[in-house]
Amino acid sequence: MSSTAVQSDQALAALPPMKIFVDGKWVESDSKERLEVLNPATGKLLAKIPCASIGDVNRAVESARRASDDWCLTAPFERAAACHRIADRILAHREELATIISLEQGKPYFAEALPEVDETAENFRIAAEDVKRLETPIIPARDPNKRLFTFKVAIGTWGIITPWNFPTVIPSEYFGPGLAAGNTIVFKPAEQTPLSGFLLTQCIAEADLPPGVFNLVSGDGPSTGDALATHPGVDGIGLTGETSTGDLIQRRAGVKKLLMELGGNGPQIVLEDADLPRAAKAAAFGAYFNAGQVCCATERVLVDRRVHKDFLDLVVQAAKAIRVGDPFGREVDMGPMNNVAVLEKTEHHLADAQQKGARIVFGGKRVSGQATNMFFEPTVVDNVSPETLLNTHETFGPVVPVITVDQYDQAIALANGTGYGLQMAVFTSDIDKAFYFAERLRCGNVVINDTTDYWEAHEPFGGGGGTRSGYGRLGGRFTFDDMTHLKTVAVHVNPLK
């Protein structure tokens, strides 16, 4: 047996039972329906998980609500200590977690899965320290006999629904601040990558939180996810996912607090004075990291016509250097795409672009000779027109679409014209131009002279106002603003009046 097979077997053996987690215990689901979890690199069956019923969701929410009052009144420093214990348990299971991520998601073990686990633990540590400094203002009162205090208070019970592209780090962006702030949680992981969620939940269970503070219900979106989003006992919904999913949940959830990080489509803008080798390297990284299956991926590149040819040559060189293969290969840069739907969408967007005059310069098809047909070539497309799906939609595949522009305002109009507004990047050597673009791009985050895939765990990340990329902020202390409410207390302090 190969060392990879041994590693995989050990990680699978470390998984908890394929049950739901309610009130501090792994318990059987009411549902007899099971969902298959497949390895996209090999096609092999990894496990079968419960598709939790409405009754299961009811039990999980009731458990979370029972725990809510005591947990929100627990001292913040005690909740911080619990988050540090969770981080400790995540790092104790570091290799098993990373192996499970690679097995079910497909991302390279060394280049991407291990760093994802490390960032997952870091998100809990950041939350643990941030909750200790949740200062709020004391407000001067008009009445001289009053004192006005404010406090950040937990909202209550949250339903957290997360995607398959980052199956531990995205959940932790909600779990760390949510738990540290005193909320209780019911978690539904993506049906394509639930095993990472199961093992992450086991780490949380090992950290000895009170029963009911954290719960897991596995299943699909239309049944389990909908039951969680519409449940009257859920006070808030946290979602990272497609814009269409966010739109549906917003309509279904009713009067709940919503924190949503939704789709994006770049772009990266390359001006005539850009450092072209740096810009090309950044575009390739942004498009091929996690096989392009990232909300802030380099979905399109808007290049000044004066440097178009030189940039194109450089980005093709970068694409040719990407090594595609077995996620457990030490030198592999890019593994398979995760599921058939996203693969076929990528192919559809490329076909649409070609029909509208675009030219595939490199790649453009599935990789032959692999165990499955889920591997796709790093791709570069030139002469992409604004009417193409590559420009107007989120492709979510390993593609660099190049669009030529002649004027700054044209680039800004194209960048803002799709309705998405998550993260954009600008390459220029002129600080005036950098600010000119940063102040006019309609998005939540702008990166100057680096990839659209750049982020740090403690920075605020989320969609720009008036866009289809969501609202609220994930990252560091800023998430506390969305997962708490501000309570005001007025105190009468003069016993004589």
164 and 306 housed in the same domain = no
Does a structural domain hold residue 411? yes
Q: Which two tokens stand for residue 461?
A: 């990340």
What's the whole-number mean pLDDT along residues 85-103?
A: 98
Strands, DSSP E only, in 276-347? Answer: 301-304
The amino acid present at 470, given as its one-letter code, is G
312 and 454 housed in the same domain = yes
Does a structural domain hold residue 227? yes
Whether the CB-CB separation of 488 and 150 falls below 8 Å is answered with yes
SS3 387: coil
Q: Is the pLDDT of residue 153 over 90?
A: yes
Does a structural domain hold residue 494? no
CATH of the domain at 452: 3.40.309.10
Identify the domain containing residue 131 by its residue range: 3-262+474-484
- What does the angle CA 378 – CA 379 – CA 382 come to, to the nearest 5 degrees? 160
247 and 125 housed in the same domain = yes
Q: What is the pLDDT of residues 163-177, one digit of tens each?
A: 999 999 999 999 999
Does a structural domain hold residue 158? yes
Bond prior to 267 in cis (omega within 30° of 0): yes
Q: What is the pLDDT of residues 421-441, one digit of tens each?
A: 999 999 999 999 999 999 999
Q: Which residues are catalytic?
A: 261, 295
245 and 177 housed in the same domain = yes
Q: What is the pLDDT of residues 173-202, one digit of tens each?
A: 999 999 999 999 999 999 999 999 999 999
Q: Which two tokens stand for residue 410?
A: 């044209």
63 and 21 housed in the same domain = yes
β-pair partners for 157: 184
pLDDT of residue 201: 98
CA dist 42 and 470 (Å) reads: 35
331 and 197 housed in the same domain = no
pLDDT of residue 497: 85
Does a structural domain hold residue 489? no
220 and 313 housed in the same domain = no
CATH of the domain at 120: 3.40.605.10
Does a structural domain hold residue 202? yes
Three-state SS across 238-278?
EEECCHHHHHHHHHHHCCCEEEEECCCCCCEEECCCCCHHH
Does a structural domain hold residue 497? no
- What does the angle CA 125 – CA 126 – CA 131 come to, to the nearest 5 degrees? 105
79 and 226 housed in the same domain = yes
Q: What is the pLDDT of residues 245-288, one digit of tens each?
A: 999 999 999 999 999 999 999 999 999 999 999 999 999 999 99
Q: What is the pLDDT of residues 205-260, one digit of tens each?
A: 999 999 999 999 999 999 999 999 999 999 999 999 999 999 999 999 999 999 99
pLDDT of residue 2: 87
249 and 285 housed in the same domain = no
Q: What is the DSSP string of 92-108?
A: HTHHHHHHHHHHHH---
pLDDT classification of 1: cutoffs 50, 70, 90: confident
215 and 79 housed in the same domain = yes
CA dist 372 and 109 (Å) reads: 18
pTM > 0.95: yes
296 and 329 housed in the same domain = yes
415 and 323 housed in the same domain = yes
Does a structural domain hold residue 495? no
SS3 472: coil
**Mean pLDDT across the chain:** 97
CA dist 355 and 147 (Å) reads: 68
Number of H helices, E strands in the chain: 16, 20
Tally of structural domains, the chain: 2
